[in-house]
Amino acid sequence: MLKYLLVVLSESSTSFCHYESKPGKGLPKDLIPLKSLENAVTFALKNNLKVNVLYPARKLGQAYEDLIEGVDHVKIVPFAARERYPEAILVIESSDFPAAGELRNLRGGNIIFRLRRPALPKLSACLGRLLPHAKRINLVLTDVEKYGPGEFAEYRRQLETVSARLQAMSARKTPPELNVLTDRLVLGKMNNCDAGLSHLTVAPNGRLYLCPAFYYDSPDETLGEIRNDVPIGNRQLLELKYAPICRICDAYHCKRCVFLNRALTLELNTPSYQQCRLSHIEREASRLHLQKLKAAGGSSAVLADIPEIAYDDPFDVVAANKQSIAEFKKL
């Protein structure tokens, strides 16, 4: 069931996820037409959808701002626009990391931190600077396709250091959350992105897509105009029960990104080994993080332990379990 709508206001709107947005040629050319934005707002109001709006760094006209204010929404804005939208979720890029003075005035809100692969060795240092200013940080790794054994080992080391930083802050009244270390602690089932199932995207051309990544990657692959009963070909491939690897997995915090699935394995329902390995590094780091929190006492004592597992890629389990594959073929 659709729960929310993503609206990409401009070609150069900030990315909030694994994809890269593409700078447009400049307003008003690369901006969603006002009429299309109006259609998106009306669609959201009629279907009781929340709206997540992806902003560019530069200013919008007042007519745009007024339309957006007419619907329940969340603003996701690049760091450069933070002063214009102080309540927004901020996107910070590792390639453009703010100076200490620029972070000082943040009000402890939600931050999306997009980490590029060359900055991986600086992950813990960057988070050490952001966490004191945030209520929650969503870490997004970009360039996932380039990750290999060296990066996996480095990511494991970095998360260990970040875990220690979070533990040092755990006595605070509201300690900050970090998706890749604290989400799995409280999840009892999959909490995936669910693009195409729980949300759709309106792109700057006014048309619908599974998510912004599909628009930037291949704008011709549109789901069409904004309307009810959007035709999604092979929709079942977006569902967990048709994903033979993911449905036996308990890395519940994983986004199960269907865009990366398709880009890296050519199958919407099959993740690449990089995605599975990274999610399992996070799962194991979360397990150890929880153990340490429990040992230190406090409210984490009531949380269920995360079981230790003997694999770091559930594909190994699927490959060894012929019955599970046979069941999948019957679906």
Residues at the contact surface with ligand SF4, assessed by CB under 6 A: 17-19, 193, 195, 211, 213, 255, 257-260
Q: Give the residue with the Cβ less far from ligand SF4, 11 or 106.
A: 11
CA-nearest of 79, 124, 140 to 105 is 79
Q: Give the residue with the Cβ less far from ligand SF4, 131 or 211.
A: 211
Q: Find the shortest distance in angstroms from Cβ 94 to ligand SF4.
A: 17
Q: Find the shortest distance in angstroms from Cβ 125 to ligand SF4.
A: 25
Residue 24 forms beta bridges with which residues?
Answer: none
* Pairs from 62-65 (Cβ < 8 Å, separation ≥ 24): 63/34, 64/9, 64/31, 64/34, 64/37
Q: Give the residue with the Cβ less far from ligand SF4, 64 or 216.
A: 216
| Rg of the chain taking only CA atoms, in angstroms | 20
Q: Find the shortest distance in angstroms from Cβ 17 to ligand SF4.
A: 3
Q: Find the shortest distance in angstroms from Cβ 178 to ligand SF4.
A: 17
Packing angle, helices 273-295 and 149-168, rounded to 10: 30
Q: Give the residue with the Cβ less far from ligand SF4, 37 or 211.
A: 211
Do residues 55 and 78 make contact, with C-beta atoms less than 8 angstroms apart?
yes
Q: Give the residue with the Cβ less far from ligand SF4, 17 or 49.
A: 17
Residue 53 forms beta bridges with which residues?
Answer: 7, 75
Do residues 207 and 223 make contact, with C-beta atoms less than 8 angstroms apart?
yes
Q: Find the shortest distance in angstroms from Cβ 199 to ligand SF4.
A: 8
d(CA 73, CA 52): 6
The tokens describing 134, both together, are 């945030």
d(CA 1, CA 152): 35
Do residues 196 and 232 make contact, with C-beta atoms less than 8 angstroms apart?
yes
Q: Give the residue with the Cβ less far from ligand SF4, 62 or 234.
A: 234
User: Parallel, antiparallel, or unpaired: how do β-strands 199-202 and 208-209 relate?
Assistant: antiparallel
Q: Find the shortest distance in angstroms from Cβ 114 to ligand SF4.
A: 11
